[in-house]
């Protein structure tokens, strides 16, 4: 035993790692260099999607796992877009937990970047680069978690499954769809932790921790109007543009019905609890029949994300018609980004929309590309959600945990559809950083200290539900 321990210690030092032998006493300060090393290496791999080339990321991770003696398996629908699964076994008392992160990033306009987007440049306390907050921070945290599990030989009640998946940024077929539909037994788990949440830093302190438990469903449509083409000097009552614009104007200003769920109710209730009196009164009055209308108007104008969290949203995004100033076009089209609140009935909703438009010339076409399966929200009464609350309180004293509904879509939809209780988490950022230096921006960056605290947060949350007590 002693010989093995000494060898492990020596080999750990040789590879520049921090040997950790007890999962309860991890020296997180000493761990920082290794976290940063893997995180930087991951950001430095250009996995812009398209085309993705996620296999380059997978190759890196595989090498790290191999060196550490962690078995892993590669699953690829397309050779350049592989996924990787690794599993550290528990005693099987509880069902597994899946820690998932995507390996692709959105593309860059290099000339717009103040630094090399794939340089992982450290500057002013931040690490800059494409993927620095979406999603290579979670990928690095999960990678380090696996290394620590292996090194500490922690006793677990459940398997911990690591999934690095390709194609999250708009091409889910080789990634989550392939894994969920063709290899589900490899990733099947009771809980999943992945991107989709965060924490708010204000005055150097974390005040709120957001955990996403549900998301809206993309249900895009196209409005199509056909009319008679003709000369621009002769007005026609069936002008496609006129009919289309009237319909677009109605949809763009439509206040769809209020749709709340467990997550959003808890979110606004808890948000009210930490907001100044005026804002608190608004959040508490959302369902108030008397003040409701004024509150909705306020939110629509001042807090559009909150407005969207309360309903199915209908947002015109593309108009297409006409080619010459003196020709009446025979066809006009508009694309509408519809995001359904969980539980909204598709058919009833589009029937209602058709009645609102009130014009038989306007046809609604469904664009099913990009649809996600309908899913119930992940529950707030699970061990996992409670663990996230416990760890938040422990790591960030005085903070409040807010369950959130994302207005956008994530790969969790495919896992929730299979009954997996899935929670979105993320590193801490100030409101300013999130608004100005966030995901997909050409100044994407992460506060270096947040990277380390997030790695620890992930570890503690996983251990809270997995470690044998």
CB 241 within 8 A of CB 372: no
Strand partners, 99: 162, 193
Scanning residues 139 to 158, which ones bind Zn ion (CB under 5 A)?
none
Name which of 131 and 329 has its Cβ closer to Zn ion: 131
CB of 106 to Zn ion, least distance (A): 9
CB of 19 to Zn ion, least distance (A): 32
Name which of 137 and 159 has its Cβ closer to Zn ion: 137
Please tell me the distance from the alpha carbon of residue 101 to that of residue 149, in angstroms, as a whole number. 18
The span of 135-143, 244-252, 324-332, 351-359 binding Zn ion (CB under 5 A) equals 135-143
CB of 195 to Zn ion, least distance (A): 5
Please tell me the distance from the alpha carbon of residue 221 to that of residue 423, in angstroms, as a whole number. 29
Match 């990928």 to its residue by tokens.
139
Query: Is the bond preceding residue 433 a cis peptide, omega within 30 degrees?
Result: no
- CA-nearest of 279, 301, 68, 21 to 162 is 68
CA dist 154 to 226, 292, 308, 417, 466, Å? 66, 52, 43, 31, 10
CB of 305 to Zn ion, least distance (A): 17
Name which of 134 and 344 has its Cβ closer to Zn ion: 134
Name which of 20 and 105 has its Cβ closer to Zn ion: 105
Residue 135 makes contact with Zn ion by CB under 5 A: yes
Name which of 49 and 375 has its Cβ closer to Zn ion: 49
Name which of 99 and 295 has its Cβ closer to Zn ion: 99
Residue 389 makes contact with Zn ion by CB under 5 A: no
Please tell me the distance from the alpha carbon of residue 359 to that of residue 365, in angstroms, as a whole number. 14
CB of 102 to Zn ion, least distance (A): 6
Please, which residues have CB within 8 angstroms of residue 152's CB and are 6 or more apart in sequence? Answer: 20, 21, 22, 23, 26
CB 151 within 8 A of CB 20: yes
CB of 132 to Zn ion, least distance (A): 12
Name which of 135 and 333 has its Cβ closer to Zn ion: 135
CB of 138 to Zn ion, least distance (A): 8
Name which of 99 and 149 has its Cβ closer to Zn ion: 99
Tell me the three state secondary structure of residue 379.
coil
Please tell me the distance from the alpha carbon of residue 67 to that of residue 371, in angstroms, as a whole number. 40
CB of 317 to Zn ion, least distance (A): 21
Cα torsion 141, 142, 146, 152: sign: positive
Please tell me the distance from the alpha carbon of residue 114 to that of residue 368, in angstroms, as a whole number. 38
CB 135 within 8 A of CB 447: no
Name which of 44 and 390 has its Cβ closer to Zn ion: 44
CB 411 within 8 A of CB 168: yes
The residue count for the chain: 469
Query: Is the bond preceding residue 295 a cis peptide, omega within 30 degrees?
Result: no
The span of 134-142, 151-159, 341-349, 411-419 binding Zn ion (CB under 5 A) equals 134-142
Scanning residues 182 to 211, which ones bind Zn ion (CB under 5 A)?
195
User: What token pair was written down for 169?
Assistant: 């940024």
CB of 358 to Zn ion, least distance (A): 40
The CB-side HSE value for 327 (13 A sphere, CA atoms) comes to 9
- CA-nearest of 135, 157, 162, 159 to 146 is 162
CB of 218 to Zn ion, least distance (A): 15
Name which of 169 and 344 has its Cβ closer to Zn ion: 169
Residue 134 makes contact with Zn ion by CB under 5 A: yes
Would you call 232 exposed, middle or buried from its count of C-beta atoms within 10 A (0-12, 13-18, 19+)? exposed
User: What token pair was written down for 75?
Assistant: 């699953």
Name which of 433 and 464 has its Cβ closer to Zn ion: 433
CB of 131 to Zn ion, least distance (A): 9
Name which of 135 and 433 has its Cβ closer to Zn ion: 135
CB of 105 to Zn ion, least distance (A): 8
Tell me the three state secondary structure of residue 329.
coil
Q: Which residues bind Zn ion (CB under 5 A)?
A: 134-135, 195
């Amino acid at each position: 035993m002693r010989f093995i321990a000494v060898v492990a210690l020596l080999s750990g030092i040789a590879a520049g790692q921090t040997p950790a032998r007890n999962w309860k006493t991890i020296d997180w300060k000493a761990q920082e260099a290794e976290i940063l090393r893997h995180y930087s290496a991951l950001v430095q791999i250009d996995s812009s999607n398209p085309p993705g080339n996620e296999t380059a990321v997978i190759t890196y991770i595989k090498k790290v796992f191999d060196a550490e003696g962690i078995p892993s398996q590669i699953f690829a629908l397309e050779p350049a877009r592989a996924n990787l699964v690794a599993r550290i076994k528990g005693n099987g008392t509880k069902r597994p937990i899946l820690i998932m992160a995507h390996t692709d990033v959105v593309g860059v306009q290099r000339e717009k970047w103040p630094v090399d987007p794939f340089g992982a440049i450290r500057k002013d306390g931040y690490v800059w680069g494409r993927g620095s907050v979406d999603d290579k921070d979670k990928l690095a945290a999960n990678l380090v978690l696996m290394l620590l599990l292996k090194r500490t030989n922690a006793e677990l009640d459940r398997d911990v499954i690591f999934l690095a998946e390709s194609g999250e940024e708009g091409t889910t077929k080789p990634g989550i769809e392939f894994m969920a539909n063709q290899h589900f037994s490899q990733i099947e788990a009771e809980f999943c932790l992945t991107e989709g949440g965060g924490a708010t830093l204000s005055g150097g302190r974390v005040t709120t921790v957001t955990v996403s438990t549900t998301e809206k469903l993309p249900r895009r449509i196209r409005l199509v109007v056909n009319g008679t083409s003709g000369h621009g000097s002769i007005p026609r009552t069936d002008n496609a543009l006129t009919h289309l614009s009237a319909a677009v104007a109605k949809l763009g200003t439509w206040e769809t019905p209020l749709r709340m769920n467990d997550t959003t109710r808890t979110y606004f209730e808890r948000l009210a609890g930490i907001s100044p009196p005026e804002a608190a009164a608004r959040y508490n009055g959302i369902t108030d029949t008397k003040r409701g209308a004024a509150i909705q108007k306020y939110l629509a104008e001042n807090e559009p994300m909150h407005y969207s969290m309360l309903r199915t949203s209908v947002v015109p995004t593309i108009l297409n018609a006409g080619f010459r100033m003196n020709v009446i076009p025979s066809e006009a089209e508009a694309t509408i980004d519809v995001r359904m609140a969980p539980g909204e009935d598709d058919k009833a909703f589009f029937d209602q929309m058709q009645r609102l438009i009130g014009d038989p010339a306007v046809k609604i076409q469904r664009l099913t590309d990009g649809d996600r399966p309908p899913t119930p929200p992940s529950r707030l009464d699970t061990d996992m959600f409670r663990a996230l609350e416990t760890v938040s309180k422990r790591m960030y004293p005085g903070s409040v945990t807010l369950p959130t509904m994302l207005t956008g879509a994530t790969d969790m939809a495919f896992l929730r559809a299979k009954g997996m209780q899935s929670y979105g988490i993320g590193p801490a950022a100030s409101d300013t950083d999130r608004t100005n230096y966030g995901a997909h921006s050409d100044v994407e960056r992460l506060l270096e200290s947040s990277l380390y605290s997030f790695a620890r947060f992930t570890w503690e949350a996983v251990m809270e539900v997995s470690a044998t007590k």
